């Protein structure tokens, strides 16, 4: 049996932990990568455990006798996949709590505030400098997954732009605060998980940290990469999911999105990059300092943490599904 999950070419701890977490829980399983969508390879039998929906269509034959749906990430995934309310539990990263090496630490043994950006924010943002100005420890999502988990485990508070930073913080019983660095942050996915722990998803917008990031954030909507919703409700998230899936199914979409990205983002970025270094530095300084001011306010908040009863009920549910999966090893 092989485990199938998304694997980022440059590394992303939230995905990379699958490379060893499931081996700890299910020894001798091999691993490959991505999520539930039409590009999944052919297989005689699929077992789905804690996965969420992807950005595309369902795989051919999804739900037939070749598929055993043990659980999906949350109620929104279940709805889109046409599953009942008994088919979701929570994100599988909650099972980190069951591993001895990641035993949650008591509050008096934890210290400091850390910030983990979404992996897309790294290439265009200046978040390491923002963190320095705000007195917050910067943790890259591209670092080794075990190292990132231990940073989370030892923190007093986790500021999470990356969704799995919050999920793992909750598993380590460390308070977390959801933030947004760009409109690319996916409301559907965050809400899908937050609903499983009975915790509100009320993200704080940090704004861009760099003029390059600002330009990108303002143009994402033109080529289909804006996933942040102003109406944070299950109904709105599901409606937006179907809407995006419909227009991205057009045969013209790949060509349109490529041209739109070039005209609205690539070309303006090239022109703006030709400005004098002093002008660019001044613009960047304004963005960086503004983001740092917002981050300072966030680091002084108490954060969110799911109720122990809810969290451990979810863990028990995942463990029961894991026992079923072990029978098919």
Is the per-residue pLDDT at 185 higher than 90? Answer: yes
Q: Which among 60, 53, 1, 9 has a CA at the least distance from the CA of 31?
A: 1
Q: 166 pLDDT exceeds 80?
A: yes
* Tokens linked to 315: 């863990």
Q: What is the pLDDT of residue 133?
A: 98
- Kindly list the distances between the CA atom of residue 299 and the CA atoms of 14, 45, 139, in Å, as whole numbers in the listed order: 22, 46, 14
For the chain, what are the domain ranges? 2-99+308-326, 101-299
> Is residue 36 predicted with pLDDT exceeding 80?
no
Radius of gyration of the chain from Cα atoms?
20
Band (pLDDT 50/70/90 cuts) for residue 195 is very high
Does residue 29 carry a pLDDT above 50? no
Mean pLDDT over residues 178-203, rounded? 96
DSSP 49-92: EEE-B-SSPPPTTTTSTTEEEEEESSHHHHHHTT--GGGB---G
pLDDT at 34 over 50: no
Of 315, 319, 325, 320, residue with least CA distance to 90: 315
pLDDT reading at 193 higher than 50: yes
Residue 286 three-state SS: helix
What does the alpha-carbon distance between residue 299 and residue 260 come to, in Å, rounded to a whole number?
A: 37
pTM of this prediction exceeds 0.75: yes
Per-residue model confidence as pLDDT tens digits over 119-152 = 999 988 999 999 999 999 999 998 888 999 999 9
The per-residue pLDDT for range 92-128, each reduced to its tens digit, is 899 999 999 999 999 999 999 999 999 999 988 999 9
Q: How far apart are CA 196 and CA 310, in angstroms?
A: 8
Q: Kindly report the length of the chain.
A: 329
pLDDT in tens, 204-260: 999 999 998 999 999 999 999 999 999 999 999 999 999 998 989 899 999 999 999
- Please enumerate in sequence order all residues whose Cβ is within 8 A of that of 276, keeping only pairs 6 or more positions apart, or say none: none
Mean pLDDT of 152-173: 97
pLDDT at 199 (0 to 100):
97
Tell me: pLDDT of 262 over 90: yes
The pLDDT score that the predictor gives to residue 32 is: 35
β-bridge partners, 160: 116, 178
Report H helices in 181-300. 187-194, 211-219, 234-247, 253-261, 267-272, 277-299
> Mind listing the pLDDT tens digit for each residue in 263-319?
999 999 888 877 767 667 778 899 999 999 999 999 999 999 999 999 999 999 999
The arithmetic mean of pLDDT across residues 28-32, rounded, is: 41
Instruction: Indicate if the pLDDT at residue 87 is higher than 50.
Output: yes
Q: What is the pLDDT of residue 96?
A: 93
- Least Cα distance to 20 among 74, 101, 120 occurs for 101
Inform me whether the pLDDT recorded for 30 exceeds 60. Answer: no
């Amino acid at each position: 049996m092989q485990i199938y999950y998304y694997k980022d070419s440059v590394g992303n701890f939230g995905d990379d932990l699958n490379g060893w977490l499931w081996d700890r829980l299910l020894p001798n399983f091999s691993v490959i990568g991505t999520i539930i969508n039409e590009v999944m390879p052919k297989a005689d039998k699929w077992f789905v455990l804690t996965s969420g929906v992807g950005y595309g269509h369902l795989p051919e034959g999804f739900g037939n006798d070749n598929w055993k749906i043990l659980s999906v990430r949350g109620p929104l995934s279940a709805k889109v996949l046409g599953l009942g309310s008994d088919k979701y539990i929570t994100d599988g990263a909650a099972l980190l709590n069951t591993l001895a090496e990641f035993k949650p630490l008591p509050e008096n043994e934890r210290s400091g505030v850390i910030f983990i950006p979404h992996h897309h924010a790294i290439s265009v943002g200046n978040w390491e400098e923002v963190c320095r100005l705000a007195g917050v420890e910067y943790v890259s999502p591209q670092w080794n997954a075990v190292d990132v988990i231990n940073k989370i485990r030892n923190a007093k508070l986790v500021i999470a732009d990356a969704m799995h930073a919050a999920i793992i913080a909750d598993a380590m019983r460390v308070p977390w605060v959801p933030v947004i660095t760009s409109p690319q942050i996916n409301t559907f996915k965050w809400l899908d998980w937050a609903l499983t722990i009975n915790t509100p998803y009320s993200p704080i917008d940090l704004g861009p940290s760099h003029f390059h990031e600002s330009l990108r954030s303002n143009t994402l909507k033109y080529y289909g990469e804006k996933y942040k919703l102003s109406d944070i409700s299950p109904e709105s998230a599901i409606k937006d999911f179907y809407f995006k899936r419909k227009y991205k199914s057009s045969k013209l979409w790949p060509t349109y999105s490529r041209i739109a990205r070039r005209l609205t983002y690539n070309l303006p970025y090239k022109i703006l990059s030709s400005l004098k270094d002093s002008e660019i530095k001044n613009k960047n300084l304004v963005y960086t300092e503004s983001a740092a001011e917002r981050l300072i306010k966030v680091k002084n908040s108490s954060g969110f943490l799911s109720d122990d009863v809810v969290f451990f009920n979810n863990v028990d549910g995942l463990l029961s599904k894991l026992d079923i999966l072990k029978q098919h090893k």
